[in-house]
Structures are given as structure tokens and as C-alpha cells.
Structure 1
Amino acid sequence: MRISIIGGGTVGEEARETAVAAGRIVAQRGHTVVCGGLGGVMEAACRGAKEAGGDTVGILPTERRADANDYVDIAVATGLGHARNGLVVMNGDGVIAIDGAGGTLSEVGFSLVFDRPIAGLGTHDVPGVEACETPEEAVRYVEDELGV
């Protein structure tokens, strides 16, 4: 299964640690991390996944695969800017949102449009996002919603 981890491109230490833990748990549970491929939550989640031996996919807003963070295994260059946010969500079976601002909110919106279960960790409080306290709870919520 693929889990899209979305969140801020620039984050504080707490959100970074949460994203590393989420990526690690996703990988430990045998799933692939999908993200926007750049920094912040995206890089931290990929780092956690790689440290646990997992696989990562980065769907980039730019035209250059080389723009991906160092922990992305498969970089997909789109040249779409923020419009690539729909692709990040579509390529995951479920979503974990961590922190974030407007770009993350757009991904939450796409998650609702594409009927993906969304677990939230310190992110936007909107209908359809299941607020979770820990990365473990977030991964478990997505798995349960998908019957895994």
C-alpha cells in the first residue's frame, strides 16, 4: 500500500520529528511513502522511511527530478507547481497530514475529492480529517479505513 504524507515545506523541530516517525512506521508496516519530494515534512518522512528500509516516491512541483530531497527513491518531475498536489494524493491509498499551510490544505481538499482516508497530526482541523495524537495512531487509522 502507498501512504501519502503531506505537510509543510518549512517546519519546526516537533513537526519534523513527527514526520520522521510517521515515515519510519509506514515503512516498518511494509508501505511506501508518497510525498511532494521537497523539504520539511516531505524530506523528514522520506528520511524516516529510508532509515527503516522502506521505499519513497516524490512527486515534484518542478521540471527537474534532481530537485528531489536525498531520501526520494523515485522522483517524478511534473513542472506543475502546486497543481501537482492532486497527484501526490492520487498516488497514495490514504493520507497522513502533518502541520502545513495552504499547500497542505489544498492536498487535504484533494484527499476529500478522491475519497482518501486522512489522518491529521497537528494540521488543519476540517471535516474529514481524523485528528490523531501520534504517528502510530495515524498509520493505524489509515490502515483500518482501508481494511489493511
Structure 2
Amino acid sequence: MRVSVIGGGTVDEAAAEQARAVGRLLGERDHVVVCGGLGGVMAAACEGAHAAGGETVGILPTADRRDANEYVDTAIATGLGHARNALVVMNGDAVVAVDGGAGTLSELGFAGVFDRPVAGLGTHDAPGVEAVDSPAEAVDYVESASSSQH
């Protein structure tokens, strides 16, 4: 399964650690992490997945693949700026949101449009977001919700 991990581009260490743990769990369970490819939650989730031997995909807002964080295995340059948010969500079977600002809120909107299950860790209270208390609960939720859709 591909899981889009979304969240703030700049986060505190607590949010970064949650994102690393989400990425690590996804990698351990053989899921692919899809993200926006830059810093903050995106880099932390990729770092966690990378440490667990998992695969990572970064869908970048810029036109240069070299802008991806060091833990992205496959960088996709779009040149679309924030409009790439739709592509980040579309390319996951489910979404885990950690922290986040307005960009994350737009991705949560796209998750609703594309009917993706969403687990939220300290993120926006938005329609369709299942608030969870831990990275393990987030991954368990998206696995369960995604398998019930197929």
C-alpha cells in the first residue's frame, strides 16, 4: 500500500519524532511513503521509512528533483508549487497527517475529494480525519480503513 504522509514543512522535535515513527512503521510493514519531498514532517517520515528499509516517494513543488530531502528514493519534480498537494494525496491509498498548516489543510481537503482514509496526529480537525493518539494507532487505522475500502 502507498501511504501519503502529510504535515508541516517546519515542525518542532515532537512532531518530527511522530513523523519518523510513522515512517518507520510504514517501512517495517512494507508500505511506500508518499510525501511532498521537502523538510519537516516530510523529511522525518522519509527518514523513518529509510531506516526501516522502506521505499519513499517525494512529489516536489519545484521543477528540480535535487530539491528532495536526502531520504527520498524517488523524487518527482512538478514545478506546480502548492498545486502538487493534490498529487501527493492522489498517489496514496490512505493518508497520515502530522501537525501542519494551511498546506496540510488543503491536502486534507483533497483526501476527502479522493475518498482517502485519513489518520490525524495533532493536526486539523477536519471532516473525514480520524484523530489518533500515536503513530502506531495512525498506521493501524489507515491499514484497516484502506483494506475495508477494497
Give aligned pairs, total: 148
Matched residue of 2:79: which SS?
coil
Matched residue of 2:71: which SS?
coil
Structure 1 runs of 4+ with >3 Å offset: none
Unaligned runs of 5+ in 1: none
User: Which residue identity does 1:77 align to in structure 2?
Assistant: A
In 2, Cα distance between equivalents of 1:127 and 1:92 = 18
| TM-align CA RMSD | 0.7
Could you tell me which residue of structure 2 aligns to residue 121 of structure 1?
121
Identity %: 69
User: Which residue identity does 2:4 align to in structure 1?
Assistant: S
Could you tell me which residue of structure 1 aligns to residue 73 of structure 2?
73
In 2, Cα distance between equivalents of 1:71 and 1:30 = 16
Tell me the TM-score normalised to structure 2 length: 0.98
Instruction: Give the deviation of 1:126 after TM superposition.
Output: 1.4
Could you tell me which residue of structure 1 aligns to residue 32 of structure 2?
32
Matched residue of 2:125: which SS?
coil
In 2, Cα distance between equivalents of 1:18 and 1:140 = 14
Instruction: Give the deviation of 1:95 after TM superposition.
Output: 0.1
Q: Are residues 1:102 and 2:102 paired? A: yes
Tell me the TM-score normalised to structure 1 length: 0.99
Matched residue of 1:147: which SS?
helix
In 2, Cα distance between equivalents of 1:70 and 1:12 = 19
Instruction: Give the deviation of 1:67 after TM superposition.
Output: 0.1
In 1, Cα distance between equivalents of 2:146 and 2:101 = 26
Could you tell me which residue of structure 2 aligns to residue 51 of structure 1?
51
User: Which residue identity does 2:52 align to in structure 1?
Assistant: A
In 2, Cα distance between equivalents of 1:124 and 1:97 = 9
User: Which residue identity does 1:11 align to in structure 2?
Assistant: V
Could you tell me which residue of structure 1 aligns to residue 146 of structure 2?
146
User: Which residue identity does 1:78 align to in structure 2?
Assistant: T
